[in-house]
Amino acid sequence: MTDPNAIQPSALDQLPDRDPEETAEWQASLDAVAREAGPHRAAYLMRRTLERAEAGGVALPKLLETDYVNTIPTSAEPALPGDPEMEARITAWNRWNAAAMVTRGAKHGVGGHIATFASAAWLYETGFNHFFRGKEQDGSGDQLYIQGHASPGIYARAFLDGRLNEGHLDNFRQESGGNGLPSYPHPRRLPWLWEFPTVSMGLGPLSAIYQARFNRYLTNRGVKDVSASHVWAFLGDGEMDEPESTAALALAAREELDNLTFVINCNLQRLDGPVRANFKIVQELEAQFRGAGWNVVKTLWGSAWDELFALDTTGALVRRLRQVPDAQVQTYQTRDAAYIRQDFFGADPALVEMAKLLSDDKILECFHLSRGGHEARKVYAAYKAAVEHKGAPTVILAQTVKGHTLGSGFASKNANHQMKKLSVDEFKAMRDLLELPIKDGDFADGVVPYGHPGADSPEVRYLQERRAALGGPAPARRVHAPAPLPAPAEKAFAAFDKGSGSQNVATTMAFVRLVKDLVRDKETGRRWVPIVPDEARTFGMESLFPSLGIYSPKGQTYEPVDRDQLMYYKEAKNGQILNEGITEAGSMADFIAASSAYATHGEAMIPFYIFYSMFGWQRTADQMWQLADQLGRGFLVGATAGRTTLTGEGLQHADGHSPVIAATNPAALSYDPAFAYEVAVIVREGLRRMYGEAKPGEDQNVFYYLTVYNEPLPQPAKPAAPGVDEGIVKGLYRFNTAESAGVNVPANAPRIQLLGSGTAIHWALDAQKLLAEEWGVAADVWSATSWGELRRDALDADAALLRGEERVPYVRQALQGAEGPVLAVSDYMRQVPDQIAQWVEQDWSSLGADGFGLSDTREAARRHFGVDAQSIVVAALAQLAKRGEVQATAVKEARAKYGL
């Protein structure tokens, strides 16, 4: 394994040595130090020399790891402001109530986590008392990404400051009664408290980076100055194994996001055991973050270790700390002083001598209790260094003990993540340790009491005064309901009503053209946030480059190669487009930050994220659930949609199922528009619903998913029939009848209803003509713009019926009186149209692109899946033959005629 501290070969090695004699003198000096004072002294001097070189701007490889000690020595720690004793009492109350809440809930079998907050209490309390800004000053404050398993401690603090009562705590994880607390940070479940859902492991750190980046975007574009906002992300060391946790570290460093701090609670444990049993997670993370360009602050050891480090004149203690793997550190936490003397100190003669100067109590204090993350002064020094550091984000690696203060039955035990309660005796021991005024008699019938010093106690007054000085309660979500955004001029939408004439236009291009018009709107244009993952040219968006600019905090420091072209690549500090490179996860994190800016910053932004539909829901559905939980609003656009429209790309790119996944998300309104005018109607309605005047009882906290296609086709004019716009929004309307389509059918011809969505409606229209001209069948064609919204409406009607209310589903109303059977077709698996089958009164059948995709022409792919016009004709004849309305032989004849 390569030593991460080794200096790697560089360009300097290729240069001739201009002064070999001087070089030899330096090398000889180093040899002499190693020989006389030992190799560790030589290594120490080299490290200090490299640090001095780096500080002086000399271009040398950076050290990726430092010694396993605190970055900020005790002598350099700033004084802790405020009243440390008061803050210790507040923290004690919060520790108690967090454990009591989970233990009381355990009697109902609802679970909960105790050990995480016990280890991280001072990491939060120090921030709440001295750093985390509330929203009552500028409406934004700081953004806090709370580690999900620590939520009981956050609830306990809200109880202490009066924002929650005992009834709330007793309903932890019991929400059905309406007075409960969600298990983790869930804005949709507790929207006045939580801003950011963080328990999908890894999504918190990823989102925090893009939130910090979006804050800079808002400031640089002049939408709102949020430069005072700081993003804090609290993470577990085990969580850092998730690829999303470290996916955007380079972005944060590259864009110098010094408005961002990661606080990683390094208690060395994940759910089942040690994070790095045979290694050291702190050192690994330090190297990873330093290599990515972050400022790293290690807060590992508490003040009890100062005496030990002062005795370490040979460096033996620092060497031993680097050698001991994390799992052994965890073992020390549970063993007596004799074991530690033998196993830790006995490994080096110098340490044996050191241990003779230490009492057993001193050894146990250091190895059992004293960690940097458990001391307010150490944490304060790290936080102060983080917020004062400029030019790079900071990560604080704070070492703690999982289960700290919960007793020997919890601390550093492998199973403590699954341990949900303390016994009464354990609580009494914890009470004595924390010096809380709780009496034995308060444990009525064996039930642990909540503790509160009183609403007018010095502790509560201090807590509230500190929060008032920092801008109000935190965490807190505030919707400073701005006035509804004015609707854009109708002209932008009406332009699509007349169709495209003889020109073929793909619906992807129609959407891009619509956005180009909307971003010019004087009132709302600047609020659009176009997001694309390095596929803007694929979607025809390059025309937006020179007009809107691609956001870059550096602006454009080079002359673009295509500067002499009309649609040149233009980056700008105030650019509007977020072109994220090949990262769907990063693009979704952008979208989430923009979609919830109405609450985070009181600024309604209108994000649209356009992507290969196959690489959206399939790849980042977890983030789309996060988006829903965060009450985000905006437009997701799945381009190059469908299983047969993206010719040549084959199986991996052929999306036949994104609407199925979208249907699993209660906040997603999924549409599969066929025509340009449908796209315009849907976007107009989405702007009204999410950003305009909401109708009574209408939930504005939704987002839209539109599938658009790259297949250039004629775009018809919008039918003049009444109710078309309503049908587009609700999910179904009749596009034409056999008669209005102008096809010749005999009187009393058998009739069928063809329902198509997206590009499939064009196959249905071709089939309508074939059925009339070659088989004497009349077909009416319906545009099913949203199978999902039809189903949602039908489910609501079913629920109303159970309440004793009579409601007819819209799909049944729309098809009422339509003659003949219904045949539905889409460019997706049959499960997509089959969502509504049970509410259709007519005989139902469907066609779809089930199975894997393949590389070929569109026509060949559609024939392969049996969804082309000829396949629709055969399926329609089969339906009619079942009813006795056409001869059974017609089906066989059609199959032979079309080569099926």
Q: Which residue has the tokens 């060395």?
A: 268
**pLDDT tens digits, 823-866:** 999 999 999 999 999 999 999 999 999 999 899 999 999 999 99
**pLDDT tens digits, 499-515:** 999 899 999 999 999 99
Sign of CA dihedral 376, 382, 385, 389: negative
* Residue 461, SS3 per DSSP: helix
d(CA 538, CA 540): 6
Provide the residue count of the chain. Answer: 900
Q: Express as a percent the part of the chain with pLDDT over 90.
A: 81
**pLDDT tens digits, 285-302:** 999 999 999 999 999 999
Q: What is the pLDDT of residue 694?
A: 86
Among candidates 824, 815, 814, 838, which has minimal Cα distance to 756?
A: 824
**pLDDT tens digits, 31-52:** 999 898 888 788 888 888 887 8
Instruction: Write phi, then psi, for 126 (nearest 5 degrees).
Output: -60, -40
Judged by phi (left if over 0) then psi (alpha if -120 to 50, else beta), residue 680 lies in alpha
Q: Examine the pLDDT at 482 and tell me if it is beyond 80.
A: no
Mean per-residue pLDDT, 399-422: 70
Q: Which two tokens stand for residue 297?
A: 């602050």
Q: Which residues contact 187 (CB under 8 A, 6 or more apart)?
A: 194, 195, 196, 197, 477, 629, 630, 631
pTM for the model stands at 0.93
Among candidates 492, 786, 511, 485, which has minimal Cα distance to 606?
A: 485
Among candidates 646, 650, 670, 652, which has minimal Cα distance to 660?
A: 670
Question: Over the chain, what is the mean pLDDT?
Answer: 92
Instruction: Write phi, then psi, for 807 (nearest 5 degrees).
Output: -140, 130
Q: Examine the pLDDT at 624 and tell me if it is beyond 70.
A: yes
Cβ–Cβ < 8 Å for 538, 615: no
Query: Angle CA(615)–CA(620)–CA(623) in degrees, nearest 5?
Result: 150
Q: What is the pLDDT of residue 34?
A: 87
Q: Express as a percent the part of the chain with pLDDT over 70.
A: 96
Helix 424-434 and helix 84-106, axial crossing angle in degrees, nearest 10: 170
194 burial level (CB within 10 Å; 0-12, 13-18, 19+): buried
Q: Examine the pLDDT at 200 and tell me if it is beyond 80.
A: no
**pLDDT tens digits, 699-725:** 999 999 999 999 999 999 999 999 999
Q: What is the pLDDT of residue 15?
A: 58
**Among 211-215, 532-536, 606-610, 646-650, where is mean pLDDT lowest?**
646-650
Among candidates 822, 818, 794, which has minimal Cα distance to 808?
A: 794
Q: What is the pLDDT of residue 185?
A: 95
Q: Examine the pLDDT at 63 and tell me if it is beyond 70.
A: yes
Q: What is the pLDDT of residue 108?
A: 84
Q: Examine the pLDDT at 566 and tell me if it is beyond 50.
A: yes
d(CA 500, CA 714): 6
Q: Examine the pLDDT at 11 and tell me if it is beyond 70.
A: no
Task: Work out the pLDDT band at 6, boundaries 50, 70, 90.
Answer: very low
How far, rounded to the nearest angstrom, does the alpha carbon of residue 486 sit from its chain's CA centroid? Answer: 29
Q: Which residue has the tokens 């970055």?
A: 71
Q: What is the pLDDT of residue 161?
A: 95
Q: What is the pLDDT of residue 411?
A: 60
**pLDDT tens digits, 641-665:** 999 998 778 788 899 999 999 999 9
Q: What is the pLDDT of residue 613?
A: 92
Q: What is the pLDDT of residue 880?
A: 97
d(CA 221, CA 217): 6
Q: Which residues contact 470 (CB under 8 A, 6 or more apart)?
A: 130, 131, 132, 133, 134
d(CA 206, CA 211): 9
d(CA 320, CA 337): 17
Helical ranges in 229-273 per DSSP H: 243-246, 249-254
Task: Work out the pLDDT band at 270, boundaries 50, 70, 90.
Answer: confident
Q: Which two tokens stand for residue 743?
A: 């096809």
* Residue 44, SS3 per DSSP: helix
439 burial level (CB within 10 Å; 0-12, 13-18, 19+): exposed
